[in-house]
Amino acid sequence: MNSTCQQTMEFQAEIKQLLDIVINSLYTDREIFLRELISNAADALEKLRYIKLSNDKIIDKDLPLEISIELDEEENKLTIFDTGIGMTREELVENLGTIAHSGSKAFLRHLAESGGKDINLIGQFGVGFYSAFMVAKKVVLVTRSYQPEAEGCRWVSEGTGSFTVSEEKELHRGTKITLYLKDDAKEFSKAENIKRIIKQYSSFVPFPIKVNGEKVNTIQAIWTKSKNEVTEEQYEEFYKYIANSYDKPLFRMHFTTDAPLSIKALLFVPNDNYERFGFGRMEPGVNLYCKKVLIQQQSEDILPQWLRFVRGVVDSDELPLNISRENMQDSALVSKIRRVITKRFVKFLNEQAQKEPEKYREFWEKFSMFIKEGAAADYTYRDELIKLLRFESSKTDPGKLTSLKEYVERMKDDQKAIYYINGPSRKAIESGPYLEVFRQKDIEVLYTQEAVDDYILSHLGEFEGKKLISADQENLELTDDLQKNKETQPEEKIKALSEWLKKTLGDKVSEVKVSKRLVDSPAVIISPGHTSISMERMMQLVNKDLNKISPKILEINPGHIIIKRLADLIESDEGLAKMAAEQIFDNALLSAGLVIDPRDMIHRMYQILEKALEK
Ligand code: ADP
Ligand code: MG
């Protein structure tokens, strides 16, 4: 061998860390290394099959597309090779060692958080290759790219810090990986074990897998079969294969149609959503096929972005086999397929919500962020997506959820609108002043706990002909006034108090008026117009300027003892009355969840206390 071409390189830092963990692992599910290597081989073969459709200049054009595994018990060795696209020297160095994958970092974090238990998820983080070091003390990989000018090369590593790359002559196209097994991993040089593992994890690999020359998998495109021809176990195994996953899917939709297009789809909702734990944006997970030939892996185009959590396969006879990635994006046909499948899938979720409410609830807990993303941003499917939304409400038990449809069914005949209110928690919402009138009138209010909910509902405007109204907005149009507040004080006195309050609070209030919504609180603030208080809260978060609150409407409750006494106090001690008025206003801001500058308030509180303690 020409030693001048030999290079020793350091693994990228996070990969080093990852290898450290992998090498020292004593995990019981070490066998998943085989699934990872087979999945890489299958990927390389799929890519080659695709390139072959439009490219003639391929090395060893007639080599059969397959995966072979050779076992050597005596030498304690396992060799796996494929006739896929192979790698050039540059690709090799990049793919296996020097480039930091976002996945390696995320995986390290996940391992740390799960107490190191979940190493079998390694493939989902895009670093599956390194799982070879769970069972091997040394890995030798030789590869030759399909491109005619490419040279073969060899990659060797013991997984500790560095690897070497050198030239390798006279290779056929593809990749061959030899694992020198650890002494405690002898089981992986035995054919019966390897066959069992392949059956368990890799039955659906769409290329022949041979073990010591004997073909062991049955290649099945189960999505092209009818539902009654496929068993539960097959579905489950297929999911594990396609999602590179270890657990069972939450939902499965197997769907075939001939009109308006011929489409076969098998889609799964995974058991969990790692994006919600902050592991970065999920890659789309649906592969696009035409008559069982893979056209595009993890297609960006076949489902909308907000369905990126879905795993599975879409197969359409109508797709041209040699469609390019660029054409895919603006192909009218692809968007047609996307619309059909998306509509069908959202309908499927609505059906599941009816049929299996408990399971749907679990789905909602884990995946609602995607449904909300769609409802907020994608008008094409909005009407259907709205039906999937779930909220707690004043009529649900804590932790139980309801839909807009159920809300409407519970509405009383004279109730005109659907009400909702935002707050950080059920408790915060229920202890605030805005619900008082609704409680008194026995009107249900939905609790939205995320800003995006309010965004969606306010943009939607109405549902089934009923207006959607934020319960903290100015004009509520509730049927009649609250009995309790009426004629509690002479009208002139209230008028004088209101005017005095307006004068005293100055620019902070645009208007002071008698509230129709208060029962137990002395006062509440409202935003003029259609802005809800929750919108104000959001704006305050963005602005970060506490003094930048726009003028508010102060609604007072004339029946409340504090308001009554305040009216009298103006005569006897205007100084104290002013302080009380400021304090009432600040309390109302705090009840609204708005932030105030505490320094003024604390100072004022001391002054009030001083007065109170005088007596
Ligand atoms: P992933 O498969 O998720 O990309 P891996 O760590 O399993 O992550 O593999 C890293 C990369 O190495 C692959 O994306 C691929 O480019 C390359 N690779 C691995 N095995 C093979 C192979 N048998 N043939 C060609 N390329 C391969
Ligand atoms: Mg892989």
**Model confidence over 309-322: pLDDT tens digits?**
999 999 998 877 66
Give dist(CA 519, CA 349) in Å, integer: 41
Which atom of ligand 1 lies nearest, measured to the CA of 36?
Answer: 7
Ligand nearest to the CA of 124: 1
Contacts of 278 (CB under 8 A, 6+ apart): none
Q: What are the tokens at 157?
A: 């590593």
The secondary element (H helix, E strand) that includes residue 211 is strand 209-211
Residue at 179 is within a domain:
yes
Which atom of ligand 1 lies nearest, measured to the CA of 126?
Answer: 3
pLDDT at residue 247, as a whole number: 86
Q: Do 407 and 317 share a structural domain?
A: no
At 503, the amino acid letter reads K
Give dist(CA 565, CA 473) in Å, integer: 28
Residue at 391 is within a domain:
no
44 lines ligand 1 (CB under 6 A): yes
Q: Do 109 and 46 share a structural domain?
A: yes
84 lines ligand 1 (CB under 6 A): yes
| Closest residue by Cα to residue 585 from 511, 523, 518 | 523
Q: Do 133 and 242 share a structural domain?
A: no
**CATH number, residue 410:** 3.40.50.11260
Instruction: Determine the distance separating the centroid of ligand 1 and the alpha carbon of 246, expressed in angstroms.
Output: 19
Residue at 144 is within a domain:
yes
pLDDT at residue 488, as a whole number: 65
Ligand nearest to the CA of 15: 1
Contacts of 467 (CB under 8 A, 6+ apart): 416, 417, 418, 461
Give dist(CA 416, CA 177) in Å, integer: 70
Can you give 214-236 as a three-state secondary structure string? EECCCCCCHHHCCHHHCCHHHHH
Which atom of ligand 1 lies nearest, measured to the CA of 125?
Answer: 3
Instruction: Determine the distance separating the centroid of ligand 2 and the alpha carbon of 37, expressed in angstroms.
Output: 7
Residue at 410 is within a domain:
yes
Give dist(CA 454, CA 456) in Å, integer: 5
Point out the domain boundary residue: 470, 503, 527. 470
Q: Do 409 and 312 share a structural domain?
A: no
Give dist(CA 296, CA 294) in Å, integer: 6
**CATH number, residue 356:** 3.30.230.80
Residue at 318 is within a domain:
yes
Atom 12 of ligand 1 has which residue's CA nearest to it? Answer: 95
Q: For 280-283, which contacts have Cβ atoms below 8 Å and span 24 or more sequence positions?
A: 280/102, 280/106, 281/308, 282/308, 282/309, 283/308
Q: Do 143 and 119 share a structural domain?
A: yes
Give dist(CA 289, CA 49) in Å, integer: 12
128 lines ligand 1 (CB under 6 A): yes
Q: Do 148 and 165 share a structural domain?
A: yes
Tally of CB atoms within 10 A around 573: 13
pLDDT at residue 324, as a whole number: 65
Number of helices and strands in the chain (H, E) = 19, 22
Q: Do 266 and 202 share a structural domain?
A: no
Low-confidence ranges of the chain (pLDDT < 70): 1-4, 26-28, 116-117, 219, 321-327, 329-330, 479-488, 544-548, 615
129 lines ligand 1 (CB under 6 A): yes
Which atom of ligand 1 lies nearest, measured to the CA of 127?
Answer: 6
Q: Do 198 and 233 share a structural domain?
A: no
Can you give 119-174 as a three-state secondary structure string? HHHHHHHCCHHHHHHHCEEEEEEEEECCCCCCCCEEEEECCCCEEEEEECCCCCCE
Residue 226: alpha-carbon gap to chain centroid: 31
Q: Do 211 and 193 share a structural domain?
A: yes
Domain that holds residue 593: 491-614
Ligand nearest to the CA of 88: 1
At 249, the amino acid letter reads P
Instruction: Determine the distance separating the centroid of ligand 2 and the alpha carbon of 307, expressed in angstroms.
Output: 22
Residue at 540 is within a domain:
yes
CB 340 within 8 A of CB 257: yes
Q: Do 548 and 586 share a structural domain?
A: yes
Q: Do 106 and 83 share a structural domain?
A: yes
pLDDT at residue 1, as a whole number: 46
Q: What are the CA-CA distances from residue 598 to residues 170, 579, 588, 592, 595 (Å)?
A: 78, 15, 14, 15, 9
What's the structural domain count of the chain?
A: 4
Contacts of 439 (CB under 8 A, 6+ apart): 394, 519
Ligand nearest to the CA of 83: 1
Pick from 121, 129, 130, 242 the residue to mutate for probing ligand 1's pocket: most ligand atoms within 8 Å of its CB.
Answer: 129
Pick from 69, 95, 147, 154 the residue to mutate for probing ligand 1's pocket: most ligand atoms within 8 Å of its CB.
Answer: 95
**CATH number, residue 186:** 3.30.565.10
Residue at 573 is within a domain:
yes
Residue at 599 is within a domain:
yes
Point out the domain boundary residue: 435, 470, 505. 470
Pick from 43, 47, 80, 171 the residue to mutate for probing ligand 1's pocket: most ligand atoms within 8 Å of its CB.
Answer: 43
Q: Do 76 and 203 share a structural domain?
A: yes
**CATH number, residue 586:** 1.20.120.790
